[in-house]
A and B are shown apart, each in its own frame.
Chain A
Amino acid sequence: MQLCSLAIKLQGWHDGGFRFIIVVQKTSKPFCFRPTVDLIQDTVASMPDFHSPDSVGVVTPQTLHFGDPITLACGQTLPAYDLVVETYGELNENASNAILICHALSGHHHAAGYHSEEDRKPGWWDSCIGPGKPIDTSRFFIVSLNNLGGCNGSTGPGSINPETGKAYGPSFPVITVKDWVQSQALLADRLGIHCWAAVVGGSLGGMQALQWSLSYPDRLRHAVVIASTPRLTAQNIAFNEVARKAITSDPDFYGGRFYDFNTIPRQGLMLARMVGHITYLSDASMGEKFGRELRDQAFKFGYDAEFQVESYLRYQGERFSETFDANTYLLMTKALDYFDPAYEFDDNLAAALKQSSCEFLVLSFSTDWRFTPARSEELVNAMIAARCKVSYAEIDAPWGHDAFLIPTPRYTDIFTAYLGRVAREVGA
């Protein structure tokens, strides 16, 4: 008699990649093994396959040092900084086939491939980047970096300030999307890339792609803006503020100087991630994943995590709090809040977009309630008014904001078709 059914599900995460999880589903009530969500996470059966023909294989990040000072939107200057970068594919002779990948809030430079043969999961966008994949490494040279202010090796609040010999902490300047794009342009100079074939990003990454078209109109041919928005709504900012408040009110935060006390604001970061994570999923996808399922069979009339969704969120939060820097989280959410290219143009987005000269691909997802399709349409309409060349599609997907990380047939088809045409255009 079959007691349990075993299903392998592909699961995407906002912060990184996809993995296969084994879900044991109860098929008859008695004698059934019911795993907790934590257990599911622990028994993750990712299937690394470095030798797969569509994988970029094992990749090694490199740290590039920039010795010239960079002046930021806030008025401060960073005298020197490092950027950690991964590249996939080969730059062609006239450097026309380069694509820049911009990461989202908690992303980093490791977008594709594996760091070692023991690595259990690939880069966060491995589903889209590789030979024969939509961002085809056999045609394009792909550059992916950890942004300034990040916590994955690029200079950020957790880095040592050479002037004091201590971590920057709260003295690290607030970085904006414009600043990131400026630093990415300097990175392009270093790599010998004058004009990107495309700048591609989802969510906060999409904002960077959009900012590229405004800051350096003649240095990119295409901007691919996925699940993004021309500016945050009051509700978006409100969620960010809850996340920030959770971090700053943690007694272990020490006003951002927690490094000096050899601790981390674990609880605050965990809460910030939990509230953030809710906004990445849709009601339907959470319902499908967890429903009202309990960890044990009955109510316990207590305040522990009883529902699977509670334990899932706690697990996500805990895991995140161990790997992410609290000051970087504050900085990234602030960069999101400040982004508003129309601000300098009397709130006229079309007027702002008149500076651009590249072509745009804008994509949204039907159940994304963080950056809804309406926000993408607002952007597209401003592009139409500004006479930009723009294509737009709303992709039907049940996963909310996270859908931009999950390869669905239509998403993959569109991406492949669009970038295939970009490849032909640049002779890649």
Chain B
Amino acid sequence: MRADLEIIEQWIKPGSHVLDLGCGDGTLLDYLQREKQATGFGLEINPEHITSCMGRGVSVIEQNLDTQGLKNFEDQTFDVVLMTQALQAVRRPDVVLDEMLRLGREGIVTFPNFAYWRLRWYLVWRGRMPESETLPYKWYNTPNIHLCTFKDFEALCHRKKFRIKNRTVVDGEHQDRWFSALWPNMLGQTAIYRITRE
């Protein structure tokens, strides 16, 4: 399992009811179901991923956050709402964050940090939109339409009065390195946040 998922997994209590927005092939939910007796759903739009989820016994709903929203889910029906590496690809990340905390007691979000030093260097040195292993697209075909930095995300949380319960950063190999914590906005490649309204 990816290292960022291993970090997230530690934040989820056994028996939790979980909603995973953009659940991919269902790896994390599958793990949570088996190891933590978690229940819940994944939302996904990629047909191959949906099939994979069904094949491994993960409950998956084909639903597009941008066009269908999350109105079919009732308030406070989940312990945790997850969104890994998808916040930057939705049309209104701020609305999705509101929705996550409407549905669940807490939200866990991971996204690529656009202020990572390599990306900064790419832009300064080459004068072009950064491309990297985690952001392997051109500016015109990228699904990542709302990239942000650690500071941007925290500013949004502050404005919306979300409480940040935990945050951590990982590098390209999704490893939690001691030095990234020193200057996360510069040295962290992927941000992992655990937020709540409480």
Contact = CB atoms under 8 A, between A and B. Distances in A.
Contacts of B58: 391
A387 B61 contact: no
Interface stretch (B48-56, B113-121, B142-150, B160-168): B48-56
Interface string B45-70: 00100111111111111110000000
A63 B73 CA distance: 47
Given A377-B72, A421-B56, A384 B51 contact: no
Given A384-B61, A410-B47, A391 B53 contact: yes
Nearest to B68: A377
B61 A417 contact: no
A425 interface: yes
A417 B57 contact: no
A421 B55 CA distance: 5
A417 B62 contact: no
B50 A414 contact: yes
Contacts of A359: 59
A385 interface: yes
A222 to B, nearest CB: 10
A20 interface: no
A299 B73 CA distance: 55
Nearest to A392: B61
Given A381-B72, A410-B47, A418 B54 contact: yes
Contact of B55 (A387, A389, A392, A420): A420
Nearest to B53: A391
A392 B62 contact: yes
A394 B62 contact: yes
A256 B72 CA distance: 45
A413 B54 CA distance: 10
A347 B54 CA distance: 30
Interface in A395-422: 410, 413-414, 417-418, 420-421
A416 B60 CA distance: 16
A414 B72 contact: no
A23 to B, nearest CB: 30
A380 interface: yes
B55 A418 contact: yes
B59 A389 contact: yes
Contact of A391 (B17, B59, B72): B59
Interface in B20-56: 39, 41, 47, 50-56
A421 B54 contact: yes
A391 B60 contact: yes
Given A390-B61, A392-B62, A393-B62, A384 B54 contact: no
Given A381-B72, A385-B74, A387-B39, A414 B59 contact: no
Given A380-B61, A391-B61, A394-B62, A414 B39 contact: no
A389 B41 CA distance: 8
Contact of A384 (B47, B53, B56, B73): B73
A361 B39 contact: no
Contacts of B55: 417-418, 420-421
28 contacts: A359-B59, A377-B72, A380-B72, A381-B72, A384-B73, A385-B74, A387-B17, A389-B39, A389-B59, A390-B59, A391-B50, A391-B54, A392-B60, A392-B61, A392-B63, A393-B50, A393-B54, A393-B60, A410-B47, A414-B50, A414-B51, A417-B51, A417-B54, A418-B54, A418-B55, A420-B55, A421-B54, A425-B57
